[in-house]
Chain A
Amino acid sequence: MLKEMSKLRIIGPKSVLAPVLDRLYDMKILHVVEKGVQGLEQGKPFASADQLSAALVKARAAAAQLGIPEASALSKKPNHRMLAEIDALAEKLQILDRRTKAADEQAASASRQLEKLDALHRLKIEPRQLRPYSSLEWFIGTVSNSALLKEQLEKITSRFLLHAEKDGRKDTIALFADRAHAMEIKALLVKQDFASLDAGEVAELTLPDAKKALTQAHAAKKSVAEERESLKKSYAFSLPVAIQSLHEELAKAEAPLRFQETEQLFLIHGFVPKAELPSAMEALKKASKDRLHFEVLDIDHHDIVPVQLQNPKAVKSFEFFLNLYTLPKYREIDPTWFLFITFPILYGFMLGDMGYGAVTLLLFFLLKKKMPQFSGFFNILMFSSIATMFFGAIFGEYFGFELYHPLVNRNPEHDLNPLVIAAVFAGIVHINAGLVTGFINEMRSHGIKTAIFAKGGWFVLEAGVVVLGLSMAGIALPGAAGKLAAMAIILVAAVMLYKGEGIIGVVEIPALFSNILSYLRLMAIGLSSVGLALVINDLSSQLFASGGAMIAVAILILAVGHVLNIAIGIMGSFLHALRLHYVELFSKFYKGGGITFNPFGAK
């Protein structure tokens, strides 16, 4: 069922817009539409919108920085104190950020210096030796091969001192050499991939100094982290409330963009569920001190009316399938009831096993307890499991074993024709129910004439086929007369369909039969499931008979086999039952494309 909607126009002086918006936001019953009276201007947001949105951005950024989840059920009117507090928090966070950055830099530079001091220490050089000399040039750094370097240096001059330290793939060196040969030595070093350590930077430093600097940097980092943590603690509650409050207030402040206005007045257009209209008008009157004018307008064919499905609790679970596909348009019949009745039947027809039904019922019950957020989905599966047990009783199947002679046989060893007939019969009933629904839909939206041509044509077609069948079977009108009569009826049907649905209708004629034959899958999926169960049972009973250790193997095969078969069965039956609805059934009446009722103030 779809909730009946009323199209409402609210007109009032701008002075009462703010309280009216507050009330509308809390009630969450008006689906605002932007199209209104032609020639009127679009409304302007409240002056506070800019400030609110800036504060909201700041608050959200702060929450993200502190790792506070935004969700909050509480809200209050934002005031100056709240805004000031957010500003102050943002500033504090900025300072903390800067301090973190400074501490990070300090730590990085201290550990770099420590590394250098450490390298010098390994080369047995005191940092204070590294000062400018008049006759000496020094180089500290890494080269690719210090032995080779030494050889080449000796060719240039004998006045040098080279300390080398093997360090992984590179050699760390300290070279003191005659300044007179500096240029040549530099060229040599370049060839040796010399990378300077910039040791001059640490000339004034001692190892304890550098260590102390590093400790200080770490302490600074820790204190910043602690402050951040304490900020997080003190804002863990108030910040989400502030965000929620700002969010609500901003939604109200920007709402006039979807309204219309004149110099003095505002106009709001929207849809309200008809049942809630009187109480809504009463509440708004009160909020505006009776300064509003309401107009309930007629809904015409151009209106895009939002839809809200309204079904009893058990049926409501099946709305899942419509949300997955597309919602009905406002004037269409809500097919949820259809799904509620026929989905479990088709599913049960396919899986149809007392044992499987009981196991899956228990499984889905437990899963529903474990994952309450998917309870609707599991409700569908539980209804389907009950139908599975029902069909299991009809087919006489208990985990693939045939305990008694079934009402309708599904064991491939016996005659399967009744099953074929049952499947096709289910298809004929299902599709005709769809056509009847389509007839009503068409009548509602385009009148009785179109309904008779577009949907009634199918019934005439079926009548023609029935006459043809009866004649061919020799039951009624045998011979040429019957065939001619049938052809005439079918021709009439084709003409009706052409008038009702155009050339598409005529082209679709064979589809009616392929759609009905498509219900043979009810038998096919079931048979494959029964076949697997039989194989599992046969195999394990043979093993049971051989006794001994084979009994353990037999139990394993039984357990794994049936679990696997149930898993395949659930998936296959679910998808095929769904497909029979979406493709075969819905093509007879369902168009969809409705938009969800999304009232002002809803999340």
Chain B
Amino acid sequence: MAVAETVANLASNSTGMIAFSAALAIAGSAIAAAWAEKAIGSAAIGAMAEKEELFGKGLILTVIPETIVIFGFAIAFFILGLAK
């Protein structure tokens, strides 16, 4: 009941919807980035165990998906701008 009420509350109030949308943008992109980094990170560690010099390259590959959450942040930021 409490959840339904909260959602109804949010929906009836445009600032709430805006905040909710921003949170959704960040949450979705953060999960996506984390998911991608998880797979790449473990592969990179595996490669490093074989050949330590791969640290630099492993680091680069691991952080590439970070851009996803940065985009999510940018979108959330612009959505929040609508509230003003």
Question: Which positions in A face B, CB cutoff 8 Å?
Answer: 324-326, 416, 420, 514, 517-518, 520-521, 524, 575-576, 578-579, 582-583
Contact = CB atoms under 8 A, between A and B. Distances in A.
Given A324-B55, A514-B67, A518-B67, A582 B74 contact: no
Contact of B60 (A420, A518, A582): A582
Given A521-B70, A582-B56, 7 more contacts: A325-B57, A514-B67, A517-B67, A518-B70, A520-B70, A576-B66, A579-B63
A520 B63 contact: no
B73 A520 contact: yes
A218 to B, nearest CB: 46
A460 B2 CA distance: 56
B47 interface: no
B56 A324 contact: yes
Interface in B18-67: 55-57, 59-60, 63-64, 66-67
A517 B63 contact: no
Contact of A520 (B59, B60, B74): B74
Contacts of B66: 521, 576, 579
A426 to B, nearest CB: 14
List the 3 closest pairs (A to B, CB-CB), nearest first.
A325-B56, A324-B56, A579-B63
B77 A416 contact: yes
B73 A583 contact: no
Contacts of A578: 59
Contacts of A326: 56-57
A583 B55 contact: no
B63 A583 contact: yes
A324 B66 CA distance: 20
Contacts of B57: 325-326
A418 to B, nearest CB: 13
Nearest to A321: B56
Contacts of A324: 55-56, 59
B73 A524 contact: yes
A325 B55 CA distance: 7
Contact of A517 (B56, B60, B70): B70
Contacts of A576: 63, 66
28 contacts: A324-B56, A324-B59, A325-B57, A325-B60, A326-B56, A326-B57, A420-B77, A514-B71, A517-B67, A517-B70, A517-B71, A517-B74, A520-B70, A520-B71, A520-B73, A521-B66, A521-B70, A521-B73, A575-B63, A576-B66, A578-B59, A579-B59, A579-B63, A582-B56, A582-B59, A582-B60, A582-B63, A583-B60
